[in-house]
Amino acid sequence: MIAYLVVFAAGFAGSLHCIGMCGGFACALGPARGGPRATALRHLLYNSGRLTSYCFLGALAGATGQFVCSTAGAQETPFQTMSADTIQRILAVVAGLLMVVMSLQFFGLLRSVHRATAGLSAIFSDALRQLLRAPGHAAPLAFGVLNGFLPCPLVYAFVAQAVATASALSGLLTMVAFGLGTFPAMLMMGGVGIVLRPSWRRRGVWVAGSFILALGLVTLGRGILPTGLLHGDHAI
């Protein structure tokens, strides 16, 4: 449970980072014509679309982990010497390393990774812009869903975490926690139009980076350290 809370917190802090792109989208989605209630609905739809995509990615990642572990761990495979536990440890090491790399990016290191993801986003986001001003309730929902698949280092980090859980359900829950964590900031920015000062944004990014680094190191630890040493974290 604690792990999900950490993910939630990381999502919350990390969403201050989202101001760069998703925040821009949320602002552009803007207030609806029908007053505050319509605006709230519009942004709730957008964010639930986004959440659904995250959950799907999480469940998919978790299921992938599960599939790898169960296939390789099954008795009659050539991997007989590798137990399900070993496979899960390898997954944890890979995911942990990925998360550490992503977190370094939040501290302003590894600019090339950042540029790669930013370039990819630009291609997709052009196509999505036309949805921003489309009327009706379906548009913000669809926009949220597609937005959820835009490349984002924050999302990658938690998808990596979800793979390491090696369970579809845990992967889903990881991404639910992350997605809900991003809700407050995104709703605030989009619905109310509050934009944090750059100094706060920078702090948020650092906090998010620290959380992800911590989670990454814990995940890495689960792969490397002997069983039981990180007993409290077996939930993820």
Partner 1 sequence: MSAPHDTLCSQCLLPVGRRSMQRRLDGETHEFCCYGCCIAFQVKHGRGEESEAAWLLIRLGVGAFLAMNIMLISIVVYTGTFDGEDAGLLPWVHLLMWALATPAMIILGGPFLRDSWQDAARGQLSPSALIVIGAGAAYAYSVVSMFAGETRVYFDTASMVLLLFTVGRYLEAAGRARAARDLEPLLAAESEIATVLEDGLERPRPVREVTAGALVRVRPGERIPVDGMVIEGASLADEAVITGESRHVAKRVGSEVIAGSINIDGALLIRSSVEGTGTRWARICRSVRAALSHRGPTQRLADRIVALAIPFVLAASGLTVAYWARTLPFDEALLAGLAVLVVACPCAVGLAAPLATSLGIGRLARSGCLVRDPGVLETLASLRAIAFDKTGTLTSHAPQLASIDCNGVAQEQVLMRVAGLERYSPHPLARAVVAAAEAQGLQASLVDNVRARPGRGILGAAVDDLVAAGNASLMSEFGWPLPPALESRASALEESGHTILYAGWKGRVRALLVFDAPPLTEAAAALQALRDRNLLVTLLTGDLEGPARRLASVVGVEELRSGLMPEDKARAIADLRQQHGLVAMVGDGLNDGPVLAAADVGIAVGTATDLARETAALVLPVGGLWVLPWVIDVSRAVRRTIVTNLVWAFGYNLLALSAAALGLLQPIFAAAVMAGSSILVVANSLRLERLADPVPPPVARAAKRDPGTRRHVPIPTAAACRSVERV
Comparing CB distances to partner 1, the nearer of 115 and 133 is 133
Q: Least distance from C-beta 224 to partner 1, angstroms?
A: 29
Comparing CB distances to partner 1, the nearer of 121 and 210 is 121
Comparing CB distances to partner 1, the nearer of 51 and 102 is 51
Residues that bind partner 1 (CB under 8 A): 49, 52-53, 55-56, 59, 63, 127-128, 130-131, 133-136, 138-139, 141-146, 167-169, 172
Comparing CB distances to partner 1, the nearer of 38 and 169 is 169
Q: Least distance from C-beta 112 to partner 1, angstroms?
A: 21
Concatenating the DSSP letter of every residue in the chain gives: -HHHHHHHHHHHHHTTGGGGTHHHHHHHH---TTHHHHHHHHHHHHHHHHHHHHHHHHHHHHHHHHHHHHHHHSTTSGGGGS-HHHHHHHHHHHHHHHHHHHHHHHTT--HHHHHHHHHHHHHHHHHHHHHHT--SSHHHHHHHHHHHTS--HHHHHHHHHHHHHTSHHHHHHHHHHHHHHHHHHHHIIIII-----HHHHHHHHHHHHHHHHHHHHHHHHHHHSPTTTTGGGTT-
Q: Least distance from C-beta 52 to partner 1, angstroms?
A: 5
Q: Least distance from C-beta 150 to partner 1, angstroms?
A: 13
Comparing CB distances to partner 1, the nearer of 86 and 125 is 125
Q: Least distance from C-beta 29 to partner 1, angstroms?
A: 13
